[in-house]
RNA sequence: GCCCAGAUGGCGGAAUUGGUAGACGCGCUGGUUUCAGGUACCAGUGGUGGCAACACCGUGGGGGUUCGAGUCCCUUUCUGGGCACCA
């Protein structure tokens, strides 16, 4: 995973840029905790051991990280600032605790993030997830919904699909919020709709079983209806949102109560259903079967009336609907709004409702506040305490960090005193979602040892934002959204200057598979770093990973593939060997080459250099193409060693090789460089600058087409004129055969490339 | 169902703005070196026909634009990824 990033960092540095390339450990979390439990070890010990192992292997891979900036999120030096940032969010009203319906795994006994629920089941133990009402900590990411959405337009360095995924995730929709009165109750039910133009087609009102009106209905309906409401609510109580919606048919019950349409004054039945989400909008919808597919399905299966109030602007109407007509059109049966277009009716109805004081325009998001508390041990303690007298209180800044206790001392940990009254208080026992730590770690790299602040503003001013971010696409709406939220908050505090987006350019890497499957211990198809280092060498591995596939594609590890790169490295070594110990000052490329073969050799070196640079500055990173150019160069050098005597050209090409390969195969590059007799590191050199004269060719192949088909390839001097090219073509025997004596009506000439003769 | 990305030899993949399709590598075939194997090196390797020169076909299928299409347009099939009752 880190090979591409390292190649990019090394290329950038050899192009003269000042590169900060750090590494750290996102070390808290459920998987580490469970693995530690399974091994009967303290998670802190388990994690420390694994960091040691992984650090050794990553160093073995030759990644050029600045290890002086290494961080681990499970260390107090880091999570202290995690707690401090939580308190900053708390003080600005962006962290709050509330009762909410959450995903609960009854087996693991913790809440789960939405992303940890797969098809309604716990991602680890496959237990069916339940819905529970618990008091949990949330971050108010929805306060930034509009900015998170609008600023996506400026993220031109991000893949379009990632921006689209974030747009869909945030899911802004504009509509109207208004209320239905409930007959016999001094209470109203608010609904949100994007299709207020269909208001007169509402034939029922549907609410989620959790809606607060449900309890009050029990007082006004018959005993039978009250019992039905109770049993329906009970049957759905523990069912997760996903279970209710995706895994169940639409169903519902009539409550026995009626709601009043605020405009038509029509009386419509109030239903409880499983398909209305408690957590979106107001937890209630107006049911318009004629113009909404879901309402149509529900009305059909429950015998509710279907009233069409929008008809296509042109074409026939009046036919009974076979499915919901969801497009815009022209209103009918809608009192004085009849005849209006949907668009105009939406404006007019919003105004009318606002005038009546019954509602108005509103915006809703599918984005929900981020649930960050976890009933888990291995995480950052949430720095809050609860006093019987004073209530909820933040831990004072000078009391940070709240250290994670060893597990046997949990009881002592929880007991504390209130900072206000000095009385007994209890600590919050939940820890934070690990996505909290990972939402700002890139800033800590700038100033990893600062014990007065998470980072000093001057460092952020100097380095931010992240110029190139490389990671998997699986974080499109998680880490990459959370980080944007945090960064905007920091920016608003004045802790960061410049852009309020953390990642300027984003690149998603493809997976590396083996035998068509993801490498994993359980599948037993993992390729060991140590074993690979031993057998093939790290440089061959790095070259292979960059070479198999363009970096954004899924690639397949093969043992044959890596041996091809071992062969390349051996050939590079042999091509350089004759010149060991003969350092000279840099040679001017054109002076080195005389014969066409020598010029081709020098040219190949510059073609490779141009490819490496182009792939880097364009941020396409298709180094597979660059390495193919290196193959071509080495092929020429191998041919030269048998046919061409040692010459300034072969020497020039050999001496260019360590620099050309340095970002991709750093170890052998350094070794060759030293053997040439250099006293300093090749990694401190500038990359080979492509020379226009070295790239130019003196002879070209003129492709001659007759009526668009290639009929001859004629060698010609570069810059051959159109008339000369025409003369050459007309002298070619195969061209004459295909012209068959016919007149050349016209011709198309592409200089130094192609001549197409069009014959009658 | 909706949205996005893709489809090129036996395999992974190349191919500025439409201008030599298959670079480079893997694999395979033959050869040189070797007692032998391996390594290394040389030659060949999209299909069909031909001794060859060369011809025809060929970038998932069908249609179109163009002197010329892997590349642009329409349509269709398949594959991968994402979202799936958000009112």
3-state SS, A70-111, equals CEECCCHHHHHHHHHHHHHHHHCCCEEEEEEEEEEECCCCEE
Banded model confidence at residue A316, pLDDT cuts 50, 70, 90: low
Name the CA dihedral angle for A268, A271, A276, A277, rounded to a multiple of 10 degrees: 110
Whose C1' is closest to the CA of A563: which nucleotide? B26
CA A541 to C1' B26, whole Å: 15
- State the Cα–Cα distance between residues A669 and A672, nearest whole angstrom: 5
Whose C1' is closest to the CA of A754: which nucleotide? B19
- State the Cα–Cα distance between residues A61 and A66, nearest whole angstrom: 14
- Name the strand (E) or helix (H) holding A670: helix A666-675
Whose C1' is closest to the CA of A241: which nucleotide? B85
CB A142 within 7 Å, strand B: no
CB A546 within 7 Å, strand B: no
CA A166 to C1' B3, whole Å: 13
Secondary structure (3-state) at A748:
strand
- State the Cα–Cα distance between residues A742 and A760, nearest whole angstrom: 6
Residues 633-692 of A near strand B (Cβ < 7 Å)? 635, 638-639, 642
CB A68 within 7 Å, strand B: no
CB A572 within 7 Å, strand B: no
Structure token pair of residue A287: 């049911």
* A459 in Cβ contact with A145 (< 8 Å): no
Q: What is the pLDDT of residue A305?
A: 94
CB A204 within 7 Å, strand B: no
pLDDT in tens, A673-705: 999 999 999 999 999 999 988 898 888 889 999
CA A211 to C1' B66, whole Å: 64
Secondary structure (3-state) at A375:
coil
CA A79 to C1' B55, whole Å: 74
Whose C1' is closest to the CA of A544: which nucleotide? B25
Cα dist from A287 to A205, A305, A360, A461, whole Å: 5, 10, 19, 53
Q: Which residue approaches B84 most closely, CA to C1'?
A: A246
Higher pLDDT, A477 or A200: A200
Q: What is the pLDDT of residue A246?
A: 63
Mean pLDDT for A622-634 is 94
Taking alpha carbons only, the member of A61, A5, A11 closest to residue A466 is A5
pLDDT at A420 over 70: yes
Whose C1' is closest to the CA of A476: which nucleotide? B82
Lowest mean pLDDT among A180-194, A468-482, A509-523, A740-754: A509-523
Residues 245-304 of A near strand B (Cβ < 7 Å)? 245-246, 248-250, 274-277, 280-281, 283, 285-286, 292, 294, 297
Q: Give pTM, 2 decimals.
A: 0.92
Banded model confidence at residue A103, pLDDT cuts 50, 70, 90: confident
CA A615 to C1' B26, whole Å: 24
CB A617 within 7 Å, strand B: no
Name the CA dihedral angle for A613, A616, A619, A625, rounded to a multiple of 10 degrees: 80
Q: What is the pLDDT of residue A543?
A: 95
pLDDT at A115 over 60: no
Banded model confidence at residue A378, pLDDT cuts 50, 70, 90: very high
CB A159 within 7 Å, strand B: no
The fraction of chain A above a pLDDT of 70, given in percent, is: 94
- ipTM of this predicted structure: 0.93
* A101 in Cβ contact with A131 (< 8 Å): yes
Mean pLDDT for A721-731 is 91
pLDDT at A632 over 70: yes
DSSP bridge partners of A4: none
CB A545 within 7 Å, strand B: no
- State the Cα–Cα distance between residues A233 and A350, nearest whole angstrom: 33
Residues 24-53 of A near strand B (Cβ < 7 Å)? none
Mean pLDDT for A349-360 is 93
CA A719 to C1' B40, whole Å: 41
A96 by Cβ neighbours in 10 Å (0-12 / 13-18 / 19+) ranks as: middle
CA atoms within 13 A on the CB side of A298: 28
pLDDT in tens, A237-287: 777 766 776 666 888 999 999 999 999 999 999 999 988 988 888 899 999
CA A664 to C1' B47, whole Å: 38
Structure token pair of residue A652: 């020039």
* A687 in Cβ contact with A14 (< 8 Å): yes
Banded model confidence at residue A470, pLDDT cuts 50, 70, 90: very high
Cα dist from A348 to A37, A353, A356, whole Å: 63, 9, 12
CA A246 to C1' B13, whole Å: 41
Mean pLDDT for A56-72 is 95
pLDDT in tens, A380-398: 999 999 998 899 999 999 9
- State the Cα–Cα distance between residues A196 and A173, nearest whole angstrom: 13
pLDDT at A360 over 70: yes
CA A619 to C1' B5, whole Å: 19
Mean pLDDT for A636-661 is 82
CB A160 within 7 Å, strand B: yes
Q: What is the pLDDT of residue A168?
A: 86
pLDDT in tens, A144-159: 999 999 999 889 889 8
CA A721 to C1' B29, whole Å: 44
Residues 211-250 of A near strand B (Cβ < 7 Å)? 241-242, 244-246, 248-250
Whose C1' is closest to the CA of A364: which nucleotide? B86
Q: What is the pLDDT of residue A114?
A: 63
Whose C1' is closest to the CA of A755: which nucleotide? B19
CB A628 within 7 Å, strand B: yes
Q: Which residue approaches B13 most closely, CA to C1'?
A: A549
Whose C1' is closest to the CA of A295: which nucleotide? B87
Nucleotides of B under 7 A from a protein CB: 3-5, 12-15, 19-21, 23-27, 39-42, 54-56, 67-69, 80-87
Q: What is the pLDDT of residue A641?
A: 64
Banded model confidence at residue A25, pLDDT cuts 50, 70, 90: very high
SS (H, E, C) A413-434: HHEEECCCCCCEEEECCCEECH
CA A119 to C1' B83, whole Å: 14
pLDDT at A585 over 60: no
CA atoms within 13 A on the CB side of A719: 3
Q: What is the pLDDT of residue A586?
A: 58
Q: What is the pLDDT of residue A583?
A: 65
Q: What is the pLDDT of residue A519?
A: 76
CA A23 to C1' B86, whole Å: 39
CB A622 within 7 Å, strand B: yes
CA A594 to C1' B58, whole Å: 41
Residues 706-735 of A near strand B (Cβ < 7 Å)? 707-711, 713, 734
Whose C1' is closest to the CA of A574: which nucleotide? B40
Whose C1' is closest to the CA of A161: which nucleotide? B4
Q: What is the pLDDT of residue A96?
A: 96
Q: What is the pLDDT of residue A345?
A: 95
pLDDT at A302 over 60: yes
pLDDT at A756 over 70: yes
Residues 470-489 of A near strand B (Cβ < 7 Å)? 473-474, 477
Higher pLDDT, A288 or A160: A288
Banded model confidence at residue A642, pLDDT cuts 50, 70, 90: low
Of these ranges, A165-169, A494-498, A525-529, A718-722, the one predicted with the greatest mean pLDDT is A494-498
CB A751 within 7 Å, strand B: no
Structure token pair of residue A668: 């052998």
The fraction of chain A above a pLDDT of 90, given in percent, is: 59
CA A628 to C1' B28, whole Å: 21
CA A211 to C1' B48, whole Å: 73
Whose C1' is closest to the CA of A298: which nucleotide? B85
- State the Cα–Cα distance between residues A507 and A613, nearest whole angstrom: 17
Average pLDDT, chain A: 89
């Amino acid at each position: 995973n880190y090979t591409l990033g390292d190649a990019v960092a090394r290329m950038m540095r050899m192009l003269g840029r000042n590169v900060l390339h750090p590494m750290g450990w996102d070390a808290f979390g459920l998987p580490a905790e469970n693995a530690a439990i399974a091994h009967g070890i303290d998670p802190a010990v388990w994690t420390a051991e694994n960091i040691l192992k992984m650090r050794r292997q990553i160093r073995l891979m030759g990644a050029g990280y600045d290890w002086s900036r290494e961080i681990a999120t499970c260390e107090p030096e880091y999570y202290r600032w995690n707690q401090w940032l939580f308190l900053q969010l708390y003080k600005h009203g962006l962290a709050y605790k509330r009762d909410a319906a959450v995903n609960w795994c009854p087996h693991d006994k913790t809440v789960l993030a939405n992303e940890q629920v797969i098809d309604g089941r716990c991602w680890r133990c496959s237990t069916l997830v339940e819905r529970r009402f618990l008091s949990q900590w949330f971050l108010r990411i929805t306060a930034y919904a509009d900015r998170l959405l609008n600023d996506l337009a400026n993220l031109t360095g991000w893949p379009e699909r990632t921006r689209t995924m974030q747009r869909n995730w945030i899911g802004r929709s504009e509509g109207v919020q208004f209320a239905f009165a409930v007959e016999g109750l001094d209470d109203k039910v608010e609904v949100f709709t994007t299709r207020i133009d269909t208001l007169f087609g509402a034939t029922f009102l549907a609410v989620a079983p959790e809606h607060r009106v449900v309890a009050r209905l029990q007082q006004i309906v018959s005993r039978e209806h009250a019992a039905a409401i109770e049993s329906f609510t009970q049957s759905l109580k523990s069912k997760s949102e996903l279970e209710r919606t995706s895994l169940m048919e639409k169903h519902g019950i009539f409550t026995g109560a009626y709601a009043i349409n605020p405009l038509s004054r029509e009386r419509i039945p109030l239903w409880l259903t499983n398909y209305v989400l408690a957590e979106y909008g107001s937890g209630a919808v107006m049911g318009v079967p004629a113009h909404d597919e879901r309402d149509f399905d529900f009305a059909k299966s429950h015998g509710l009336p279907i009233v069409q109030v929008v008809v296509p602007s042109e074409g026939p109407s009046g036919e009974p609907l076979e499915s919901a007509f969801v497009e815009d059109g022209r209103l009918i049966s809608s009192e004085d709004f009849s005849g209006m277009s949907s668009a105009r009716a939406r404006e007019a109805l919003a105004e009318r409702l606002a005038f009546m004081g019954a509602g108005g325009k509103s915006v809703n998001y599918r984005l929900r506040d981020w649930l960050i508390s976890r009933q888990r041990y291995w995480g950052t303690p949430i720095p809050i305490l609860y006093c019987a007298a004073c209530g909820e209180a933040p831990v004072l800044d000078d009391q940070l960090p709240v250290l994670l206790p060893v597990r046997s001392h949990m009881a002592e940990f929880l007991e504390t005193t209130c900072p206000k009254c000095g009385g007994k208080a209890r600590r919050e026992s939940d820890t934070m979602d690990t996505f909290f730590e990972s939402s700002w770690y890139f800033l800590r790299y700038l100033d990893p040892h600062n014990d007065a602040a998470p980072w000093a503003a001057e460092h952020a001013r100097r380095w931010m934002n992240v110029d190139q971010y490389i990671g998997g696409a699986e974080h499109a709406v998680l880490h990459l959204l959370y980080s944007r939220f945090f960064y905007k908050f920091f920016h608003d505090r004045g802790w960061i200057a410049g852009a309020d987006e953390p990642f300027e350019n984003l690149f998603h890497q493809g997976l590396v598979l083996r035998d068509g499957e993801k490498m994993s211990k359980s599948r037993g198809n993992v390729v060991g770093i140590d074993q690979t280092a031993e057998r093939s060498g790290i440089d061959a591995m790095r070259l292979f990973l960059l070479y198999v596939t363009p970096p954004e594609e899924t690639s397949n590890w093969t043992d044959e593939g890596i041996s091809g790169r071992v062969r390349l490295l051996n050939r590079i070594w042999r091509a350089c060997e004759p010149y060991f110990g003969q350092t000279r000052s840099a040679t001017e490329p054109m002076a080195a080459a005389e014969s066409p073969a020598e010029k081709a050799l020098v040219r190949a070196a510059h073609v490779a250099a141009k490819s490496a640079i182009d792939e880097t500055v364009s941020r396409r990173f298709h180094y597979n193409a660059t390495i193919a150019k290196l193959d071509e160069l080495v092929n020429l050098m191998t041919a030269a060693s048998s046919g061409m005597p040692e010459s300034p050209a072969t020497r020039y090409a050999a001496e260019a090789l360590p620099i050309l390969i340095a970002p991709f195969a750093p170890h052998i590059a350094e070794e060759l460089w030293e053997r040439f007799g250099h006293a300093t590191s090749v990694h401190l050199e500038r990359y080979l600058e492509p020379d226009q004269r070295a790239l130019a060719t003196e002879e070209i192949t003129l492709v001659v087409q007759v009526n668009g088909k290639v009929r001859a390839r004629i060698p010609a001097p570069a810059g051959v004129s159109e008339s000369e090219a025409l003369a050459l073509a007309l002298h070619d025997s195969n061209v004459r055969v295909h012209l068959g004596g016919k007149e050349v009506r016209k011709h198309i000439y592409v200089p130094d490339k192609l001549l197409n003769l069009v014959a009658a």
